[in-house]
């Protein structure tokens, strides 16, 4: 007799064992053999089970109760042993009460665990949703860096300049301030996936506005250079550079504002979850407009990210970008007093 036979008998009594199948038409139903519910949790009934074995001395088949060869005692243990990479793993999990931020709760637990005494052979890790969010954040951060790098290369090739791409990419980085300010002021959560997707989308719009402004300003400076009849190795006076920047800002003010306004207004229905019943609108002229719904939880974070960032980036495009452009030219004048063109 072995301990495996005892374990098999107790396991069969508790969890059952498939002994046959019942066929009805084309369906097969397994037949499980196990103790009745009233005996299943009776320790005496479990220990009174008979185990069949062959006596090694006489060769005869014998049956003895489990209580004759084993004793039972109560203890606290786990119902199963889970392993990961051959190491035993214990998972402690809990839901977060509504109204609390899961990330903040995990950070508090992590702080409390810093000074908690644990044996040297025990390691703690925060997994589950927080681990997945960390992986998604790392992936989307890399995607954002790759997108900004590709934008930088394209701008360098188009403008044939190293200064202008830094100004444009800098405006993209500074536009993130608007996103964070908006989330803090309106007390919105930073949703890893959709907020990062919104930031990546925001970069494209901000770059477009900055390119429109600086490209036209550069064109105005070249035209002014020809109007004054300056040689190729002569630069525009610094006051003329400022006047060209002001003129470029005036002319491109409307396109930049229209791009920002139309984008913000177009995203507001998606951000607020505005719903219109077109059936009643066409049949009864009653649109039944209401705000909210399940789609807000998914599209809302991305929409608000673009709205906050673009509102702040418009200010950057119209004020900060021209200032940076002027400062770059002024610095260029000091470093290289004579050059072909003011921006190259």
Q: Helices marked H in 25-83 — which ranges? A: 37-40, 43-47
Sorted by where each begins, the domain ranges of the chain are 3-68, 82-127, 130-335
Residue 344 has what pLDDT? 41
Same topology for domains 3-68 and 130-335, yes or no? Answer: no
* Average pLDDT of the chain, as a whole number: 82
Instruction: Give the separation between CA 111 and CA 183, rounded to whole angstroms.
Output: 25
Taking residues 132-147, report their average pLDDT: 82
Cβ–Cβ < 8 Å for 39, 45? yes
- In this predicted structure, what is the pLDDT of residue 339? 46
Quick one: which of 55, 67, 76, 60 has its CA closest to 9?
Answer: 67
Q: Please report the pLDDT score of residue 338 as a whole number.
A: 52
pLDDT of 337 reads 60
CA distance linking residue 156 with residue 264, whole number of Å: 29
Q: Per DSSP, which regions of 262-341 are E strands?
A: 274-275, 290-291
With 0.85 as the threshold, say if the pTM is over it. no
Query: Rounded to 10 degrees, what is the CA torsion of 164, 170, 175, 176?
Result: 150
What is the pLDDT confidence band of residue 76, given thresholds at 50, 70 and 90? Answer: confident
pLDDT tens digits along 270-315: 888 887 777 787 888 887 787 777 778 788 888 899 999 888 888 8
Higher pLDDT, 256 or 4: 256
Q: CATH says 3-68 is which class?
A: alpha beta
pLDDT digit string (tens) for 8-34?
A: 888 888 888 888 888 888 888 888 888
Closest CA to 269 of 312, 303, 244: 303
Cα 257 from Cα 265, distance rounded (Å): 12
The DSSP code for 66 is: G
Give the span between the Cα atoms of 194 and 201, in whole angstroms. Answer: 10
Q: What's residue 1's pLDDT?
A: 58
Cα separation, 317 vs 310, in Å, equals 10
Class of domain 130-335: mainly alpha
pLDDT, tens digit, for every residue of 182-197? 888 888 877 777 888 8
3-state secondary structure of 171: helix
pLDDT at position 51 over 70: yes
């Amino acid at each position: 007799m072995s301990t495996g036979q005892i374990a098999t008998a107790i396991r069969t009594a508790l969890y059952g064992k498939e002994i046959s199948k019942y066929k009805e038409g084309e369906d097969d139903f397994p037949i499980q053999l196990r103790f009745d519910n009233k005996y299943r949790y009776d320790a005496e009934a479990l220990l009174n089970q008979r185990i069949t074995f062959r006596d090694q001395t006489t060769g005869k088949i014998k049956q003895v109760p489990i209580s004759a060869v084993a004793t039972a005692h109560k203890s606290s243990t786990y119902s199963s042993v889970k392993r990961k990479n051959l190491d035993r793993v214990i998972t402690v999990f809990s839901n977060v009460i509504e109204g609390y931020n899961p990330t903040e709760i995990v950070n508090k637990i992590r702080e409390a665990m810093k000074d908690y005494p644990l044996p040297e052979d025990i390691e703690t890790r925060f997994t589950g949703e927080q681990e997945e969010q960390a992986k998604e954040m790392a992936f989307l951060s890399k995607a954002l860096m790759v997108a900004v790098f590709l934008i930088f290369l394209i701008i360098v090739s188009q403008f044939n300049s190293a200064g202008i791409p830094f100004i444009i990419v800098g405006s993209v980085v500074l536009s993130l301030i608007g996103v964070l300010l908006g989330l803090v002021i309106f007390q919105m959560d930073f949703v890893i996936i959709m907020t990062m997707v919104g930031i990546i989308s925001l970069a494209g719009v901000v770059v477009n506005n900055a390119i429109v402004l600086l490209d036209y300003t550069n064109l105005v400076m070249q035209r002014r250079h020809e109007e004054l009849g300056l040689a190729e190795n002569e630069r525009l006076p610094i006051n003329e550079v400022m006047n060209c920047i002001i003129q470029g800002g005036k002319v491109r003010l409307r396109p930049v504002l229209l791009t920002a306004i139309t984008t913000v207004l177009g995203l507001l229905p998606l951000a607020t979850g505005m719903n219109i019943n077109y059936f009643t609108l066409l049949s009864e002229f009653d649109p039944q407009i209401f705000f909210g719904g399940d789609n807000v939880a998914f599209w809302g974070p991305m929409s608000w990210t673009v709205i906050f960032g673009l509102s702040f980036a418009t200010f950057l495009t119209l004020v900060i970008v021209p200032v940076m452009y002027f400062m770059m030219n002024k610095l260029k004048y000091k470093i290289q007093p004579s050059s072909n063109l003011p921006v190259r």
